[in-house]
Structure 1
């Protein structure tokens, strides 16, 4: 039984890659002028994703490629393929006594398949809420939070915290962080005033689903973008998902998006 606390909240945020294998969910972006269409998604780790509009229009389906990284040495360079956490022999995390992750291993491909941008990836694996960036001062946390509250989100147990970012907060991608801060925007846009807010949020309401570690809600509190964030509602965890669900559709002459067929048994 997990006990809600700031320390356990951080551990849960870094544990998602090892807490579920498939996820069916809907997500919307309240108050966001650029993300106006709620979607439903089926995701099967490590590489398969299907996204539909709520009316069944197919928006994306397919399989992601493995991550490849370049390693440089005095004798030259080479490219290696990083393993997924589920691969045999993949590096394992350091576990806490409560079953959450104390430290994530290096050299793994941890990003889930992307839809549109890295905000999607960060929601599913919200490690940026757990640990400071590599350039942070020793002991400086990524977030400041006073208390963690047990709540329900879409009928599921969740933990909620009101958090404030510190200069050590380092999002997965600076252009689409889970929590927007002046420090992140200055670093991402090199101080370009056109990309800065006049008034930044005072804090953020954040919720993590207890079973999966997925970030199911963010909400800016105060500032120019008050109320903006996301709302993810989990419909099923670890249900079977067949390969056909993720087959890329054949597009017609004009590349029109298709609509999904009747739900398949065990998939909807």
Structure 2
């Protein structure tokens, strides 16, 4: 196994992050499922030439507004407010998946389970739960909403030379454009790196810069600094956290009974009249 020298680990050794701050960053990356229940965000992306990338929707919108209510309710709108996607059903019966008797079908949402917390109030060790929303229209959004893959589900063993899923090259405290406190790190893949969604890894093949919001644990900015797709960026703007969201925001409208206030007019013959009359409302 190739060993990384100090220059590869920390390009500027004088600015190497403290062990405490790196531990805090990894715990923050594990904590998202327990830091919020509903969220409204705006997602945009740019290619390596820093041009805005339109989404595969009508008129190719450069950004999308996404409303999420845990565990699995999702609504996606374009900039004009047109609904592009929303969950078909929520709170549906699980009987079919239970009958399948697979281990995955019995996993609970993480909000119903208690993790092990560190002294800073963030998650040190996560329980096994249903973390990935299979209904998410873009699979990579799962990684932005819960960037646990860069930290692992539990603290790494101390007897391994490179125990963590990601290698932290730089780490700093910053604020985003709205003034929200964040932690920003330059990371590369470790030997044990394993994306939660295999087809959509959060870290690129080289060095990737990630910014994590300290209040929600969301990855709000991703920039690939080197390797394949260097220069590509994703941005997540937090618009609202833990606002009340009704079921109607996420479910498809269903056909209802006829409105009697709009009853049709039926011809009713009048006594002694050769012409049929009209029903009057």
Match of 2:172 among 138, 146, 149: 149
Match of 1:116 among 137, 160, 168: 137
Q: Which residue of the partner structure matches residue 167 of structure 1?
A: 191
Deviation at 1:164, TM superposition (A): 1.3
Deviations 1:112-159, CA, capped at 9 Å, x for gaps = 4643332111110111011289xx994521111133211112411111
Q: Which residue of the partner structure matches residue 26 of structure 2?
A: 10
Q: Which residue of the partner structure matches residue 60 of structure 1?
A: 85
Q: 3-state DSSP class of the match of 1:234? A: strand
Q: 3-state DSSP class of the match of 1:10? A: helix
CA RMSD of aligned residues (A): 3.2
Q: Which residue of the partner structure matches residue 212 of structure 2?
A: 208
Deviations 1:49-69, CA, capped at 9 Å, x for gaps = 100111212111114666958
Match of 1:105 among 118, 122, 127: 127
Q: Which residue of the partner structure matches residue 36 of structure 1?
A: 54
Number of matched pairs: 219
Q: How does 1:1-268 map to 2 (within 5 A)?
A: 5-31=21-47, 36-37=54-55, 38-62=63-87, 63=89, 80-87=105-112, 91-106=113-128, 108-112=129-133, 114-131=135-152, 138=160, 140-155=163-178, 156-181=180-205, 201=206, 203-249=207-253
Cα distance, 1:19–1:79 mapped onto 2, change above 3 Å: closer
Cα separation, 1, equivalents of 2:75 and 2:44 = 16
Q: Which residue of the partner structure matches residue 258 of structure 1?
A: none
Unpaired segments ≥5 residues, structure 1: 182-200, 252-268
Cα separation, 1, equivalents of 2:235 and 2:72 = 23
Deviations 1:10-51, CA, capped at 9 Å, x for gaps = 100011000001100100111179952321011111121100
Q: 3-state DSSP class of the match of 1:147? A: strand
Q: Which of the pair has more CA radius of gyration?
A: 2
Cα separation, 1, equivalents of 2:218 and 2:210 = 11
Q: 3-state DSSP class of the match of 1:11? A: helix
Cα pair 2:220 2:237 within 8 Å, conserved: yes
Q: 3-state DSSP class of the match of 2:46? A: coil
Cα distance, 1:86–1:144 mapped onto 2, change above 3 Å: closer
Cα separation, 2, equivalents of 1:249 and 1:96 = 44
Cα distance, 1:79–1:120 mapped onto 2, change above 3 Å: closer
Cα separation, 1, equivalents of 2:100 and 2:104 = 6
Cα distance, 1:30–1:70 mapped onto 2, change above 3 Å: farther
TM-score by length of 2: 0.69
Deviation at 1:85, TM superposition (A): 2.5
Cα pair 2:38 2:245 within 8 Å, conserved: yes
